Amino acid sequence: MQLVIFGAPGAGKGTQSKIISKKFNLLHLSTGDLLRAEVKANTELGKRAKVLLDQGKLVPDDIVGGMVEKALLENKDTNGYILDGYPRTLVQADFLNKIIKKDNLPKPKILYLTVDDKVIVDRLANRRQCSNCKSIVNLSELKQENVCPKCQSKNTLIRRDDDKEEVILNRMKIYRENTFPVLEALKKMNFEVNHVLGTNPIDTVTQNIVDIIKD
């Protein structure tokens, strides 16, 4: 099973990718997570990427493209993947189409999570990730302050550096200008694009995705 999850910042791509990859035993390939891992490891790439990530700007196409191609080839013979956060420029969409053809890989289905701008700001300002179990949570889900509602660890909920309001607004602008047009380009390249209402409750969104991918 090959999937691309597409949508604005905060649409729920990471949340759904984690659930779906577990359910169907797929590789969750998140370009944002790969870049944040480079930042954390303080590699040369990570140092360059951090400056861009902190401003909500995109990392150059060739860097991200190389990471994605390597991961797709390494996992060619596995059960499949869910690609989260790629492609997000027209150049990246072209590149994905080319590597699929060149390496004779199956064409992924596109899952487009739709959400309103107002919902996005609220979700991202209140998002935290547990450094212990890696769950993505919203502050409104907490039953006790500073306790992860999924694994009950204390003081492990971390706010992403790019979840500050001014950076969120910049990420949304970049999404509108650079990433949203990618959907049309993918349709023209004959990718199957499926719309999923991302403002539904998390379980409903998952069920809608399952219905699409089991078709």
Q: Which stretch binds ligand AP5 (CB under 6 A): 37-45, 51-59, 72-80, 143-151?
A: 51-59
Residue with tokens 């991202």: 124
Q: Does 13 bind ligand AP5 (CB under 6 A)?
A: yes
Return the number of the residue (120 or 213) whose C-beta is nearest ligand AP5. 120
* Contact with ligand AP5 (CB under 6 A) among 2, 75, 138, 194: 138
E-state strands within 45-185: 81-84, 109-114, 127-130, 136-138, 157-158
Strands 81-84 vs 27-30: parallel, antiparallel or unpaired = parallel
Among the listed residues 27, 52, 71, 125, the single contact to ligand AP5 using CB under 6 A: 52
Question: In this chain, which of 3, 11, 83, 148 binds ligand AP5, going by CB under 6 A?
Answer: 11
Q: Is 59 in the site for ligand AP5 (CB under 6 A)?
A: yes
Taking the mean position of all CA atoms in its chain, how far away is CA 53?
14
Choose among 92, 87, 118, 60: nearest CA to 4: 87
Q: Which residue in the set 169, 202, 210, 212 belongs to the binding site for ligand AP5 (CB under 6 A)?
A: 202
Q: Check binding of 10 to ligand AP5 (CB under 6 A).
A: yes
Q: Which stretch binds ligand AP5 (CB under 6 A): 80-88, 96-104, 146-154, 184-192?
A: 80-88
Residue type at 48? R
**Shortest CB 135 distance to ligand AP5, Å:** 8
> Could you say which DSSP state residue 1 is in?
-
Q: Which two tokens stand for residue 115?
A: 């959400």
Rg (CA), the chain: 17
Q: How far is the CB of 96 from ligand AP5 (least distance, A)?
A: 10
Query: Least distance in Å: CB of 181 to ligand AP5?
Result: 14
The answer to whether residues 154 and 133 touch, using CB atoms and an 8 Å cutoff, is no
SS3 at position 137:
strand
Other beta carbons within 10 angstroms of residue 47's beta carbon come to: 11
Tell me the residue nearest to ligand AP5 as measured from the CB. 32
Going 137 to 141 to 146 to 148, the CA torsion angle's sign is negative
User: How many chain residues bind ligand AP5 (CB under 6 A)?
Assistant: 35
| Interface contacts to ligand AP5, rule CB under 6 A | 7, 9-15, 31-32, 35, 52-53, 56-59, 64, 85-86, 88, 92, 123-124, 127, 136-138, 162, 171, 198, 200-202, 205
